[in-house]
Amino acid sequence: MIRVILAEDQAMVRGALASLLDLEPDIEVVGEAATGEEAVAVVERLEPDVALLDIEMPVLDGIAAAARIRARTPGCRVVILTTFGRPGYLRQAMEAGAYGFLVKDSPARELAVAIRRVLGGERVIDPGLAAAALSAGPNPLSRRERDVLVAAADGSTIVDIARALHLSEGTVRNYLSSAIQKTGARNRIEAVQRSRLQGWL
């Protein structure tokens, strides 16, 4: 039996995925988690063969959870399962030591197939997405440019951001300006959007 734990914040989706996996004769869902932090703890306690992690989770996202799991419980193979097939997400997932990367709009039967393959030592990645991630190149934004973009995303003004990050207003302007340049956008909103699409935030 392949022992799997499932981390996903939406309870109904989590339950549904569990019932999907329990249909498989060789797979058993032995634990569930609603946040990345819970997932790390559950994996440490139960030592499953595979941890299936959503990215978009509160407290600790799936990618950060993957990194911690690799450090603390290296015997457990991580598969990322996400809504958004963004190049930057895939890159980060690989850096965090994930063995598989699936998007939620691939067919349901792929899930069990992927789990079996990963357990067999294979890496499972959507080929189209892999190509996109490679051709897109790495994240061009610096640490601070990212910080400022994230802070700007909710409609904060320059003054707000400057206060929140303990920077001068001019500095914030400059970071925003360079982030706009690097993303090829015309203003901060487009810059945030494009960066999100690439998985750079």
Partner DNA sequence: GCGCTTCTCTGACAAATGTCATAGAGAAAG
Partner DNA sequence: CTTTCTCTATGACATTTGTCAGAGAAGCGC
d(CA 69, CA 78): 8
- Cβ neighbours of 27 (radius 10 Å): 20
Q: In terms of Cα–Cα distance, which of 183, 101, 197, 111 is closest to 148?
A: 183
**Using rule CB under 7 A, residue 181 touches DNA:** yes
Q: Which of residues 147-166 bind DNA (CB under 7 A)?
A: 157-159
| From DNA, a copy of itself, none, interface partner of 144 (C-beta below 5 to 8 A by class) | DNA
d(CA 119, CA 132): 25
In 3-state terms, what secondary structure has residue 81?
A: strand
d(CA 195, CA 201): 6
Site string for DNA, 88-127 (x = CB under 7 A): ----------------------------------------
Site string for a copy of itself, 54-93 (x = CB under 8 A): ---------------------------x-x----------
| From a copy of itself, DNA, none, interface partner of 19 (C-beta below 5 to 8 A by class) | a copy of itself
**Using rule CB under 8 A, residue 20 touches a copy of itself:** yes
Task: Give Cα 152 distance to the centre of its chain.
Answer: 21
Show Cβ contacts of residue 184 under 8 Å, excluding neighbours closer than 6 positions.
Answer: 194
**Using rule CB under 8 A, residue 19 touches a copy of itself:** yes
Structure tokens at 164: 């929140």
Q: Which residue in 19, 83, 168, 193 binds DNA (CB under 7 A)?
A: 168
Structure tokens at 107: 């067919």
Half-sphere exposure of 177 (CA within 13 A, CB side): 6
Min dist CB 175 to DNA, Å, is 6
**Using rule CB under 8 A, residue 157 touches a copy of itself:** yes
| Residues within the interface to DNA (CB under 7 A) | 142-145, 157-159, 167-171, 173-177, 180-181, 186-189
Residues found near a copy of itself in the complex (CB under 8 A): 9-20, 23, 81, 83, 102-111, 152-155, 157, 185-193
